[in-house]
Amino acid sequence: MADSDVEPAPDWSNRLSNSAEDTFVAMECLLTTLRALEATLWQQDMSEISSTEYCDNFCQALMHYAGSRNSVEHGLPLLEVYCLSINCFAAARPHLTADSDNVALVLKRLALSCFELLLSVPENEIPYEAWVQFYRSVQVAHDALLEYGSADLQALLQITGEGGAWSNPVLSALLTGRPTNIEEVEAYIALEGEGFMEMRVKHLEKMGEVAKAVVLAKSCAECHLVSNQTTFRQTYVSLLCHLLPGEEAIMEISRLDCKDVLDITCSLETEGEENTAFILCTTFLTQQLQQQSLYCSWCVFSGQCQILGSIWIN
């Protein structure tokens, strides 16, 4: 091939430079916007209306920047955005009233968004300096928000303090099959909360770590400190179906209560997961027939026929 036909190598240095420059400009614009919102807030009397208006404008400003950027290509810039946003919201908190539900809602969404980013971006792609800066920002904001009775950043602070989304020793032991203490596991689940746990389970499933997702979902479903145990139990059973025809998954399904199987089957069918519901019914029914549990088998068989009819219609 002639030299003239060879495509020139892309100049990545210029691209990175431009990207960094664009990020800096965008961050300056975001900071200016958030400070202007805070200044406007301080000029008003504290009220539910002013607090709600600030929260709405805060979210719009954040979405304008972060909404068009994905965590894979813009992990570090997004981390900087959340650092800035958390600090700005904490600075505005003294003039926000708890009478506005939006105040607590924004904090929870910020924490969840930060955590989602930490799950998505490999830890080795975040420079140590950026990680330390993020941790300090969360710590300062958490201490400031505690004065107003808000602990929404507590779990995020612990995660950043541990050095990563998967660095907690209790979580690590649980997911790798090492011995764990039930009280420690439940305390850990309660600290992070149901929102973080749901995101962990979904992320593990997305990454193909279904067996680990099963373990975590089961632990949440059995944790008496979790208010939404039913949802985690359905997730746990649904994930078990993805591990079939594994012997351990079959045995776990066979141990389920008949009523639970029927309830979960109905929920899966309602959510459009007819195939998973049919697999669950078939596996459970097969085990029940082998154990000669005729009454339970008949109930599940009836449900199985209804699901099969739905699958054929669709």
Same domain, 109 and 84: yes
Please tell me whether residues 55 and 181 are part of one structural domain.
Answer: no
For residue 84, pLDDT over 70 is answered with: yes
Ranking 17-21, 78-82, 283-287 by mean pLDDT, the lowest is 17-21
Considering the domain architecture, whether residues 196 and 227 belong to the same structural domain is answered as: yes
Contact 197, 229 (CB under 8 A): no
Judgement on whether residues 33 and 84 belong to the same structural domain of the protein: yes
Question: How many domains, the chain?
Answer: 3
Phi, psi of 251 (to 5 degrees): -65, -40
Cα Dmax for the chain = 79
Q: Distance (Å, rounded) from C-alpha 70 to C-alpha 120?
A: 10
Judge if 77 and 191 occupy the same domain.
Answer: no
Cβ-based neighbours of 223, under 8 Å, separated by 6 or more = 185, 186, 189, 190, 229
Cα 36 to Cα 30, 40, 51, 57, 94: the distances in Å are 10, 6, 14, 11, 16
User: Do 176 and 148 share a structural domain?
Assistant: no
Q: Mutual orientation of helices 229-242 and 210-221 as an angle, nearest 10°?
A: 150
Between CA 152 and CA 111 the distance in angstroms is: 7
Q: Using CA atoms in the order 285, 288, 290, 291, what is the torsion angle rounded to 10 degrees?
A: 180
Higher pLDDT, 130 or 145: 145
- 11: helix, strand or coil: coil
| pLDDT bracket for residue 104 (50, 70, 90) | very high
Which of 243, 268, 290 terminates a domain? The answer is: 243
Is residue 175 located within the same domain as residue 219? yes
Placement of tokens 């900071």 in the chain: 31
Q: Are 27 and 80 in contact (CB under 8 A)?
A: yes
Q: How large a percentage of the chain has pLDDT more than 90?
A: 53
Higher-confidence residue of 298 and 241: namely 241
pLDDT tens digits, residue range 218-231? 999 999 999 989 99
Question: What are the pLDDT digits (tens) for 233-275?
Answer: 999 999 999 998 889 999 998 888 878 888 888 888 888 888 8
Inform me whether the pLDDT recorded for 280 exceeds 70: yes
Residue 21: predicted pLDDT: 59
Output the 3-class SS for 225-278. Answer: CCCCHHHHHHHHHHHHHHCCCCHHHHHHHHCCCHHHHHHHHHHHHHCCCHHHHH
Cα distance between residue 72 and residue 192, in whole Å: 24
List of residues 6+ apart from 253 with CB closer than 8 A:
237, 240, 241, 261, 280, 283, 284, 287
pTM: 0.82
Task: Please give the residue range of the domain that contains residue 195.
Answer: 169-243
Question: What does the pLDDT look like over 133-148, one tens digit per residue?
Answer: 889 999 999 999 999 9
- In single-letter form, the type of residue at position 148 comes to Y
Mean model confidence pLDDT for the chain: 84
pLDDT class of 4 with cuts at 50, 70, 90: very low
Q: Which residue, 162, 182, 212, sits at the end of a domain?
A: 162
